[in-house]
Amino acid sequence: MPSPFQSFQSNLSPSKHTQSFQELYGEPENFLEIEVINPITHGSGSSMYTDYEIVCRTNIPMFKFKESRVRRKYSDFDSFRKVLESQTNNVVIPKLPEKSFFNYHRFNDDFIEERRQGLQQFLKVIAGHPLLQTGSKALTSFVQDEHWNKSKFL
Amino acid sequence: MNQALDSKTLEDSLLIVKQQITLMRKCLESKNPQFMDALKHASTFLSELRTNKLSPKLYYELYVLVFDGLAYLSDFLKESHQTNHLADLYELVQYAGNIVPRLYLMITIGSVYMSIENAPKLEIMKDMLEMSAGVQDPIRGLFLRYYLSQKTKELLPTETESELKETIQFTITNFIEMNKLWVRLKHQGHSSERERRLKERKELQILVGSNLVRISQLDQIDKFYYKESILPKVLEQIVQCKDSLAQEYLLDVIIQVFPDEFHLLTLDDFLQSTLHLSEGFSMNKILVTLINRLIDFQKREPANVKVIISELSTLTLQKDEHEENHTEESDSETTKPQTSSNLFEKFYDYSHLLVENKPELNFKDLSLILEAICKLSLSYYPQDYENINKVFGFALALIHQTTQHLEIWEPLLKTPICYNFDPKLVLSLDDNYKQFASALPTAIQSANALYILEKFLEQDVRLSTVEEVKTLYELLAVWFTSEDSSDSNTNSLLFGTDSSKNEPDESPEVVSQYEALAKSIHLIHHTNPYKHFELLEIAKSFMSKSGSRVRYTYPTLLFAVIKLIRKLTIVQKLNALKLKQFCQFFSATNTELLTLVSNGTLQSEGGVLAQTCMNLNLSMALILDQSSHIDLSYEFFINSFVIYEESIVDSRLQFQCLLSIIGTLHKCRNIVNGNEDNFDVLISKTALYGSKLLKKTDQCRAVYLASHLWWIIEELDEEDEIESETAKTSEDELQVVIKTDNKKVLECLQKSLRIADSCLETNVSLELFVEILSRSLYFFIHGNELITIKYLNGLIELIQNSILTIGEENTSIDTPTKHFQRTLEYIRQQAQIDSRFEEIKDR
Amino acid sequence: MSLFFKVPLDIEVRLDGEDSRETVEVKSAKGRKEKLPVYKDGETVKGQVSVRLKDNKRVEHLGIKVQLLGSIETKVDGIKNDEFLSMAHELASPGDLRHPETYHFEFRNVEKQYESYRGKNVRLRYYIKVTLGRKSADVIRERELWVFQKNQLPLGATKPDASIKMDVGIEDCLHIEFEYSRNRFSLKDVIVGRIYFLLVRLKIKHMELSLIRRESCGAPPNQVNDSETLVRFEIMDGAPVRGETIPIRLFLGGFDLTPTYRDVNKKFSTRTFLSLVLIDEDARRYFKQSEIFLYRE
């Protein structure tokens, strides 16, 4: 019976790795913060719409900027999601928050807040997905580019 | 995170843990202990430690409870390990599916196992340490490793050298891992919560530091081992973690937990590594703590310090040799500056390196560091003033780079005087110190000057060389040049505020400065009075720069001269030529003071100063009389009279001054004997002054007092009486007659009587009559023949009539009436021993 | 049948030294636990068969025989039964039974090629079968044995004690290197290993090691596979960074594992995989499976 005190090292070839100081004390390489905040409703009448600010802070090199702030509408999220679905087949893309059933309801504060949270959750999951990070150019473009141009990806 | 939510989570967890501990104890305490079930309960409560919903503080509360729970398990195992084979149990608990409970159980059992004889301690230690790597979450990892450290602390083997090595390795590895997790914690959570993370990390710091405490508790480690095998490893981590909280805390822990002798021996290593600390790290705290420790060490164990310093120089020597060999091999290597075993040099060189290597270091920190270095030098090398000069040279260079916040340098400025037993140190410093001082704001210079002077006064430090006097007053130079307050005074006058109060409004600071300055004159001392006088002249040359404020210091200076003359008189070594010098000095100085009065600088204060000047002159005159320089004495009396006439305007002051003159003249002996004509001039003048006073009462009193100047007899004191027992028989021989002039005395009394009678208020007259009666009785007793019984009876009658006229009941004459009654009583008593009194009639 | 025809006798199979024999507890198909006697390969199986008459009535029979059978039952496309071992002794010739009788039997040094196994779709069993032939319906009594195959060299293990080393990851996201001390283990062994992280851009929350038993039966294309996670073992809590080494140590003795079988009688296989699973903050799982070979010591 093996002794319980056989250290895990002793059963293996000696480890060739010693941690460097950078590794011991450096910033982890998985820093990624996505926030959807600051909804603003623009225009009036039938051209009225709300957009949201996407704040991204990261040290993951797939992103072009360490910190970025862009504004997107719900419809942008919607088209972004469609792009993702068309690009990948083995990644389950989470759903966006529901569309409002009643149109008059769309600019209600509670609704906007609920939607903001939903969009943030959606984007967090998407942005943190390793396959999308590496496989989808649309992701970094949507999160960080000043303007979102879905036609580039469809 | 919501705090209320946090504590709710904690409460829930605590409840579960408590319940499970109770259940576990039931299992263990029953007659047939159900150990497996106990383990299951333990594992259940340990699962609570898997939470990530608690802040470190709350997690700690949970940890404490869990710790207690596991202690029951440990105790049980200790007692029952015969039946529960620990090696098997150690394996058994490793089936736990979750890593956190598994490792806590492993450590609990492993540590009990370690406590048993012949257990494979080293293997157990290593295994627990290696397996702990599975917990990468900073908070959970830190607490787990803290548990490991707590449970093993009493058990780490140190019997053999290799065991000790393993134990240290174990502790340092745990330290490194904990430091890693602790630093990593700062990156956890949202970036907007950095502040909170920092606070949390502070709360956790003690966990990391506990490893260093552990090492410091190993008695087997000596300072050389520490230097070779421990400190380098720890410092490396501290430097490389590049986290200022960790650096500041851990360096402080090192300083606090290891003995001072370790620090002394490893000073170079320690200092060298601090040069590589991250920006934003506040250096001064660590360095100041370190230096203070070393200073205390020196105070506590000077012998030990000596030994270590000599060891240090041996080490340095070896190291140098080693390096020399090394440089022979590779010339490209930059030669390190020669390290010396002189502690001051080490720190001093270090302070330069610090400035070079850490440009971001602020002046405040630097000033504190230099202050500490200064203190160190004063403690270790109290005689080596050159060190202090160096520090101030460096400080001077630094201070030239900035004009802001100069006040931060004040503590450094005060250090030499503050931390040395001998305040004279400050006199030995070179120009760097003075230049440094003068680069600072006046207020600071001024405060420092006072601080220095107070130290001198406190310890009564004598100044006995020209150098000392000059240097001290140079250090106080700031007082002699600044006249700020009088400027501000003119301003306030311009705006017409409170013109009734004309005195120069000196601030309390200035007053205390000059008070101290005046006292400082008494510190000047030389066994040779002529040399002493030269020192006083030097002192005056500084004081003279302080404008009207000389009024605070000159009188003291003049008294110092008088003292010198008295001293010389006693030893009878007064050289006439030198005396002349003294007198010139005195007169010149006194004249300067009087100028202040005459030019009106001092307004109403001038009268008092003039009085002082006059009194000083009188004192001088008296001492000159006593030293038989009657001509000089006469001159000073004349000078006094000039001052009286020219500068004493206030009638009240005039009266006081006359009293002084009368008193002084009355004490003169030599001038009376040597040149009675001169003396008569003086006393006649005095009597005349008296009769010219403004108020009748003053006139009257001055005149009857002046009468004594014609009747000077010296009564022998007790000792003389015993010596000349034969003289006792004759009354006359008990006294030495200096001057007796019956007629003049009577004239004075008569004159005063006339003045008294001319008073408008009868009660005042009465009062004066009674006083004159007293005087008359004095002269009667002492044998003035012109003061006859008849004369006295006449006076008594006059008084009695006067009382009758006013009316006995009038309360305004209570005091003189009582005085009169007492006088009569006195006469009655005298009658019993002196028959002459019998003829004085009383009612 | 017994509803209509009452069985007139009891048959009991007793094995020699039954009380002192090692037993194993296994779950029956109905989820009950049963205790079975353990036999080794080549071990003699002997015992007695007792026949008791009910109601003391005479029973006419066509002969009594005892068999030792080994069979593989599979549930692929209906239940199939394949006997790989069949031995028989006649205990009594046809005749009448008037009294209770006890018969001794002995199967000498029986080769038991395979280990007993109860899986999801397959079971391999050894049993004693006593048959009392009758005109109406035979009376049958079965007694199951459990066979352990000790010291069996694992099939498919090419080199003994080769360690497993692997370099896996997701490009630009995660890169790990892991190492298990060996690839074959006795059932009471301990798996030792380590994981070294070369790149971590994921927000990892946990890491687990699972032991997965995969049973496959039938031949392709009709092969049926079934995987069952037997053990879940957390080996890391929290997120590591680059350069971190995480130790692995998993004791196997306490788990209900099956040795590795390859193509048992061309009917089925059981294999065990060690799966390293990383779970991130969004509960995504990343895993890598490696087969280990288990054997009974």
CATH number (domain holding residue C139): 2.60.40.640
* Average pLDDT of the segment spanning B506-525: 86
A77 band by pLDDT with thresholds 50, 70 and 90: very high
Q: Under an 8 A CB cutoff, do A128 and C280 touch?
A: yes
Of B185, C203, B184, nearest in space to A127 by CA: C203
* Any domain includes C131: yes
Q: Of the candidates B59, B86, B119, which is a domain's last residue?
A: B119
* Average pLDDT of the segment spanning B162-181: 95
* Average pLDDT of the segment spanning B161-185: 95
**What residues does A67 pair with on adjacent strands?**
A57
* Average pLDDT of the segment spanning B236-245: 92
* Any domain includes C273: yes
Total domain count for chain B? Answer: 2
Contact C236, C169 (CB under 8 A): no
Burial label, C22 (beta-carbon count in 10 A; 0-12, 13-18, 19+):
exposed
B56 touches chain C (CB under 8 A): no
Range of the domain at C266: 164-295
Highest mean pLDDT among B47-61, B264-278, B829-843: B47-61
* Chain B residues touching A7 at Cβ < 8 A: 123, 126-127, 130
B842 band by pLDDT with thresholds 50, 70 and 90: low
Give the per-residue pLDDT at B421: 74
In this predicted structure, the answer to whether residue B159 has a pLDDT above a threshold of 50 is yes
* Average pLDDT of the segment spanning B81-105: 90
Give the per-residue pLDDT at B494: 38
Q: Under an 8 A CB cutoff, do C237 and B99 touch?
A: yes
For residues C46 and C177, state if they share a domain.
no
Give the per-residue pLDDT at B332: 40
* Chain A residues touching C193 at Cβ < 8 A: 8, 12
* Chain C residues touching A94 at Cβ < 8 A: none
CATH number, domain at B115? 1.10.357
CA distance A28 to B635: 96
HEC assignment per residue over B480-507 = HHCCHHHHHHHHHHHCCCCCCCCCCCCC
Q: Which residue has the tokens 């006058």?
A: B493
Q: Under an 8 A CB cutoff, do A7 and B190 touch?
A: no
* Any domain includes C49: yes
Q: Under an 8 A CB cutoff, do A29 and C199 touch?
A: yes
* Average pLDDT of the segment spanning B267-272: 91
* Chain B residues touching A28 at Cβ < 8 A: 184, 187
> pLDDT (tens digit, 9 = 90+) per residue, B444-464?
888 888 898 898 998 888 898
> pLDDT (tens digit, 9 = 90+) per residue, B392-443?
999 988 888 877 788 888 888 888 888 777 888 888 888 888 889 888 888 8
* Average pLDDT of the segment spanning B264-286: 86
Give the per-residue pLDDT at B417: 83
> pLDDT (tens digit, 9 = 90+) per residue, B682-734?
999 998 998 888 888 899 999 999 999 898 887 766 554 444 444 444 444 56
CA B398 to chain centre: 27
SS3 for B300? helix
Give the per-residue pLDDT at B725: 44
B321 band by pLDDT with thresholds 50, 70 and 90: low
**Lowest-confidence pick of B324-328, B373-377, B496-500, C235-239:** B496-500
In this predicted structure, the answer to whether residue C283 has a pLDDT above a threshold of 70 is yes
Q: Under an 8 A CB cutoff, do A33 and B191 touch?
A: yes
* Average pLDDT of the segment spanning C148-155: 67
Of A55, A80, A76, nearest in space to A67 by CA: A55
Peptide bond into C221 cis (omega under 30): yes
For residues C180 and C124, state if they share a domain.
no
> pLDDT (tens digit, 9 = 90+) per residue, C16-53?
988 899 999 888 777 788 899 999 888 999 999 999 88
> Which token pair is B597?
């009065």
Give the per-residue pLDDT at C154: 53
Mean confidence (pLDDT) of chain C: 88
In this predicted structure, the answer to whether residue B593 has a pLDDT above a threshold of 90 is no
pLDDT more than 70, % of chain B = 90
Q: Under an 8 A CB cutoff, do C249 and B133 touch?
A: no
**Lowest-confidence pick of A10-24, C138-152, C245-259:** A10-24
C192 band by pLDDT with thresholds 50, 70 and 90: very high
Give the per-residue pLDDT at B491: 38
* Chain C residues touching A17 at Cβ < 8 A: 196, 243, 245
**Lowest-confidence pick of B546-560, B598-612, B671-685, C275-289:** B598-612
C4 band by pLDDT with thresholds 50, 70 and 90: low
For residues C107 and C35, state if they share a domain.
yes
> pLDDT (tens digit, 9 = 90+) per residue, C234-279?
999 999 999 999 999 999 999 989 998 888 888 899 999 999 999 9
Q: How far is B150 from chain A (nearest CA, A)?
A: 21
* Average pLDDT of the segment spanning B519-545: 89
* Chain A residues touching C197 at Cβ < 8 A: none
Q: Under an 8 A CB cutoff, do C244 and A19 touch?
A: yes
Give the per-residue pLDDT at B485: 42
For residues C201 and C235, state if they share a domain.
yes
Mean confidence (pLDDT) of chain B: 86
For residues C106 and C16, state if they share a domain.
yes
Give the per-residue pLDDT at B291: 93
Contact B125, B153 (CB under 8 A): no
Q: Which chains touch C (3 or more CB pairs under 8 A)?
A: A, B
For residues C134 and C190, state if they share a domain.
no
> Which token pair is B582?
């003294």
For residues C138 and C172, state if they share a domain.
no
Q: What angle do CA B92, B96, B97 make, to 5 degrees?
A: 145
For residues C120 and C227, state if they share a domain.
no
Give the per-residue pLDDT at B211: 95
By Cβ distance, the residue of B90, B180, B237 closest to A4 is B90
* Chain C residues touching A28 at Cβ < 8 A: 200, 239, 241
Q: Which residue of A has its CA nearest to B240?
A: A21
* Any domain includes C142: yes
* Any domain includes C1: no
Half-sphere exposure of C271 (CA within 13 A, CB side): 20
* Any domain includes C269: yes
* Any domain includes C3: no
CA distance B129 to B174: 7
- Give helix B385-399 / helix B431-438 axis angle, nearest 10°: 30
Q: Which one is predicted more confidently, A151 or A105?
A: A151
Q: Of the candidates B405, B421, B440, which is a domain's last residue?
A: B440
CA distance B369 to B283: 8
> Which token pair is B254?
């090192």
Q: Under an 8 A CB cutoff, do B138 and C235 touch?
A: no
Give the per-residue pLDDT at C158: 54
Highest mean pLDDT among A131-135, B102-106, B461-465, B739-743: B102-106
Q: Which residue of A has its CA nearest to B119?
A: A5
Of A30, A55, A48, A59, nearest in space to A120 by CA: A55
Pick among A3, A19, A21, A30 to test the C interface (most C CBs inside 10 A): A30
For residues C128 and C256, state if they share a domain.
no
For residues C113 and C229, state if they share a domain.
no
List own/partner pairs for B4-11 with CB under 8 A and 24 or more apart. B5/B53, B6/B53, B6/B54, B6/B55, B6/B58, B7/B58, B9/B51, B9/B53, B9/B54, B9/B58, B10/B54, B10/B58, B10/B61, B10/B62
In this predicted structure, the answer to whether residue B481 has a pLDDT above a threshold of 80 is no
* Any domain includes B784: no
Give the per-residue pLDDT at A6: 55
Give the per-residue pLDDT at B201: 95
B333 band by pLDDT with thresholds 50, 70 and 90: very low
Give the per-residue pLDDT at C50: 92
Range of the domain at B362: 343-440
**Lowest-confidence pick of B47-51, B124-128, B494-498, B665-669:** B494-498
DSSP C159: S
Q: Which residue of A has its CA nearest to B236?
A: A21
* Any domain includes B38: yes
CA distance C195 to A15: 10
* Chain C residues touching B135 at Cβ < 8 A: 236-238
> Which token pair is A119?
């969009």
* Any domain includes B598: no
In this predicted structure, the answer to whether residue B495 has a pLDDT above a threshold of 70 is no
Complex ipTM:
0.91
List own/partner pairs for A18-23 with CB under 8 A and 24 or more apart. A19/C243, A19/C244, A19/C245, A20/C243, A21/B240, A21/B241, A23/C241, A23/C242, A23/C243, A23/C244
**Which residues in B have their CB inside 8 Å of a CB on A?**
87, 90-91, 94, 120, 123-124, 126-127, 130-131, 176, 180, 183-184, 187, 190-191, 237, 240-243
Of B171, B321, B363, B336, nearest in space to B268 by CA: B336
Q: Under an 8 A CB cutoff, do B94 and C249 touch?
A: yes
CA distance B588 to A101: 109
Give the per-residue pLDDT at B723: 46
Q: How would you classify the pairing of strands C45-53 and C101-107? A: antiparallel
CA distance B220 to B158: 7
CA distance B35 to B37: 5
Q: How far is B145 from chain C (nearest CA, A)?
A: 14
B138 touches chain C (CB under 8 A): yes
pLDDT more than 70, % of chain C = 94
Q: Which domains does chain A have, with CATH numbers?
A: 29-152 (3.30.1520.10)
In this predicted structure, the answer to whether residue A81 has a pLDDT above a threshold of 70 is yes
> pLDDT (tens digit, 9 = 90+) per residue, B374-388?
999 988 998 888 999
SS3 for B430? coil
For residues C177 and C248, state if they share a domain.
yes
Q: Of the candidates B411, B440, B469, which is a domain's last residue?
A: B440
Give chain A as a DSSP string. ---TT--TTTTSPPP-----HHHHHSPPTT-EEEEEEEEEEES-GGG-EEEEEEEEEE--TTSS-SEEEEEEEHHHHHHHHHHHHHH-SSSPPPPPPPPPSSGGGGG-HHHHHHHHHHHHHHHHHHHT-HHHHHH-HHHHHHHH-SS--GGGT-
- Give helix B99-114 / helix B35-47 axis angle, nearest 10°: 130
Q: How would you classify the pairing of strands C9-15 and A67-73? A: unpaired
* Any domain includes C156: no
Q: How far is C148 from chain B (nearest CA, A)?
A: 24
Q: How far is C94 from chain A (nearest CA, A)?
A: 54
B501 band by pLDDT with thresholds 50, 70 and 90: very low
* Chain C residues touching A129 at Cβ < 8 A: 282, 284
> pLDDT (tens digit, 9 = 90+) per residue, B766-785?
889 999 999 999 998 888 88
Q: Under an 8 A CB cutoff, do A7 and B183 touch?
A: no
For residues C21 and C140, state if they share a domain.
yes
Q: Under an 8 A CB cutoff, do B130 and A28 touch?
A: no
Q: Which residue has the tokens 């370690």?
A: B114
